[in-house]
Amino acid sequence: MWDYSKTVQEHFLHPHNAGPMDDANAVGEVGSLACGDALRLYLKVSDKGVIEKASFETFGCASAIASSSMLTDMITGMQVDEALKLTNKDIVARLGGLPREKMHCSVMGEEALEAAIRNWKGEPPVPHAQEIGKLVCKCFGVTDAQIIRVIRENDLKTLEDVISYTKAGGSCGECQDEIAEILDAELKNRAEQKKIA
């Protein structure tokens, strides 16, 4: 049994803003049913760029539902540009934490928000599964660019952390050596940056 905070339990048992939105003018989709987690985020954005409403549909666990529910609460009333500054760490903090193995659910929320805002701006969708980069994890469609981004944003230090935040390497495990190489390079880069600073 996962050790969920009371806030996570509340948002899982009584999710806020769940369901499709008929008058949405922006939609962001991330994940895949094949991977076991998928999120569709709906936004109603005003002409002045204020997120007036947000709702979601998700296929996933308690953490995915709670992360999505919390995200919709957080962004309602925000300017689009302010909402874009939110990260998965902000979602996790508002939830009172998530088990390490479930951190990918908060990352999915951040990515769905970015995809929805790109949709509202009329920009081509760039879901993170299609980021520029080399496909590393075939099971979950995760690229080296995604892995590097999540390592940097969350100050990850171990292979287990990367798996927990991206799911990459968590199925067949064939890509774990490559993920470890990416992580080692990032950790060396981080150490070099600290020496310079």
CA torsion 117-121-122-124 (nearest 10°) is -50
Q: The sheet that has 26-32: what strands, in order across it?
A: 26-32, 37-45, 51-59
Taking alpha carbons only, the member of 74, 73, 107 closest to residue 89 is 107
Enumerate domains of the chain plus CATH numbers. 1-128 (3.90.1010.10), 131-197 (1.10.10.1100)
Q: What is the enclosing helix (H) or strand (E) of 135?
A: strand 135-137
pLDDT of residue 129: 46
Q: How many helices (H) and strands (E) does the chain have?
A: 8, 5
Which residue do the tokens 């909402």 mark? 83
Which residue do the tokens 């590393």 mark? 136
Indicate the SS3 state at residue 130: helix
- If one compares 124 and 62, the residue with the highest pLDDT of the two is 62
Mean pLDDT of 181-195: 92
* H helical segments located in the chain: 6-13, 62-75, 80-83, 88-95, 103-120, 144-154, 159-166, 176-196
Which residue do the tokens 């470890």 mark? 180
For 63-117, what is each residue's pLDDT tens digit? 999 999 999 999 999 999 999 999 999 999 999 999 988 888 898 899 899 999 9
Those residues whose C-beta lies under 8 Å from the C-beta of residue 190, and which sit 6 or more positions away, are none
CA 86 to chain centre: 10
Q: Is 35 a residue of the active site?
A: yes
Average pLDDT over the chain reads: 90
Q: Which of 105, 139, 172, 175 is catalytic?
A: 105
- If one compares 87 and 1, the residue with the highest pLDDT of the two is 87
**What's the whole-model pTM score?**
0.76
Q: Is 175 a residue of the active site?
A: no
pLDDT of residue 197: 72
Q: Which of 35, 137, 139, 175 is catalytic?
A: 35
